[in-house]
Amino acid sequence: MTKKVKSTAQMSCLIYGASGRMGLQLIHAMKNHPSLNLASSVDEREIKAFDAKHTAVLKFSEKALAAVLQGVDIVIDFSSPKGTSSLTKALEHATGKVVLVGTTGLDNKQRSALFKAAHKGRHKLLLAGNTSLGVATMAKLAKVAVSTLSPAGFDIEIIETHHARKADAPSGTAIFLAKVVEQTDPKLKVIFERKGKREKNTVCIHAVRGGGVVGEHSIRFISDLEEVSISHRAFDRTLFAEGALHLVAEIAKKMKPGDAKELADYLDS
């Protein structure tokens, strides 16, 4: 029997990737959240399970992760591709969780395994490389711009800039925006590198790395006579933590057990 998710007033959360920048932001944001409480935090070294009076500390293992997973309603993952693979295996032995995966850099095999685990365990799963309300709005504006400007012959380029320590390129957000563009106009082909002359109907993602930039994304629509640009700039990682907590509450209400979606598809639903 599928476990019923509790009301949002009682929802307990597991933060996976708790020692990373986003994990720490999520833990801080959850302290004052009215409907979510931190039940467990997990990083590559250890697992902490909390209750009102005690904290249990376990050495990280997939077996321990699976055990702790049973006691929560929500899982928020901002770990690493390797960490998400371990989470996927644990989800195969759990039922009825609300799962938000914000980890970027996953390959197609990892995405497929994650979605299969969600279907098998009747989890509500959303894969979102960016949890910003502003980026979601940017994607909706991009659909309007692509549907109007691409048929008119405008060239489309995507540019993203992040801090020098970011592990993956292009960013998950840039890939998400590229998917939105492709879905809106299927004749367009996204490429990740350009050598020589620009080919017609290609959209190239350009990744810039340097300094401490939190995150900047821009979609440029360029013709011989004019340019339209849609852009987003993040000033503080707090916005991603707040957006993630908003999303999990929304997923719990809107998605059906066994649903597994990427953000581009979720915004269309």
DSSP at 96:
S
Number of Cβ atoms within 10 Å of the Cβ of 165: 9
Q: Evaluate if pTM is beyond 0.75.
A: yes
Determine the 3-state secondary structure of 205 from DSSP: strand
Residue range 113-163, pLDDT digits in tens: 999 999 999 999 999 988 999 999 999 999 999 999 999 999 999 999 999
Reported in sequence order, the residue ranges of the chain that DSSP labels E, i.e. its strands, are 11-16, 36-42, 46-50, 55-59, 74-77, 98-101, 124-127, 155-162, 189-191, 202-209, 215-222, 227-234, 260-262
Q: Which of 221-225, 233-237, 257-261 has the lowest mean pLDDT?
A: 233-237
The share of the chain scoring above pLDDT 90, in percent, equals 84
Note the pLDDT of residue 188. Answer: 98
Is residue 119 annotated as part of the catalytic site, yes or no? no
Catalytic residue among 123, 162, 232, 261: 162
Is residue 48 annotated as part of the catalytic site, yes or no? no
DSSP β-ladder status, 155-162 and 202-209: parallel
Note the pLDDT of residue 100. Answer: 98
Instruction: Select the more confidently predicted residue: 255 or 7.
Output: 255
Catalytic residue among 33, 120, 166, 206: 166
**Terminal alpha carbon distance of the chain:** 27
Residue 71 and residue 39 in contact, taking contact as beta carbons nearer than 8 Å: yes
Note the pLDDT of residue 268. Answer: 78
Determine the 3-state secondary structure of 151 from DSSP: coil
Looking at residues 103-111, what average pLDDT do you find?
A: 92
Q: Which domains, from first to last, does the chain contain?
A: 8-127+238-268 (3.40.50.720), 133-234 (3.30.360.10)
